Amino acid sequence: MRPMAPTIWISARSNARGKRQRGSTLVEQAIILPVLLILFFGVVDMGRALYAYSFVSYIAREATRWASVRGGGVNGKATTGDVTNFVKGEATTGINPANLAAATVWKPPANGSPLCPGGNANNKPGCVVQVTVTYTFSFAVPLIPGSGTIPMSSESQMIITQ
């Protein structure tokens, strides 16, 4: 019976330690869970911000191309309001159209052009159309108070072809 005594003593000792540490996992989980959730939602928000930035860049190029094709001539002249409506109409899931704005400027090319006479900012073939799209991105979970938004902007220009 000599070998049984240490085994019982060891199991009784480990059982006493288990009773003392039973709530420690709950405390550890309560400490680490908020950190993991903040990291998770931070990664999700950064992914949303990257998507929004990519969309702003894409829609600036698309709106410039759209305005350059509809600059003047047979199709009529595109106006600033038309370009803004095009930009807001292309807003997809994840983009709030209310936070999206577009500014359109028609100007002569930097090196001059006989097709865009007089240096006037006119909307005709040979002139340049410049579209600047701005978007105010809002975080779903702002981690730092007062920094819940990021302004994003992209600019594109192209010569009016038609």
The parts of the chain modelled with pLDDT lower than 70 are 1-22, 71-76, 113-115, 117-121, 143-146
User: 60-76 pLDDT, tens per residue?
Assistant: 999 999 988 876 555 56
What distance in Å separates the CA atoms of residue 113 and residue 98, rounded to the nearest whole number?
Answer: 37
Provide the whole-model pTM.
Answer: 0.73
pLDDT for position 133: 96
Nearest CA-CA partner of 52 in 157, 154, 162: 154
User: DSSP letter at 99?
Assistant: G
Domain boundaries of the chain, sorted by first residue: 45-159
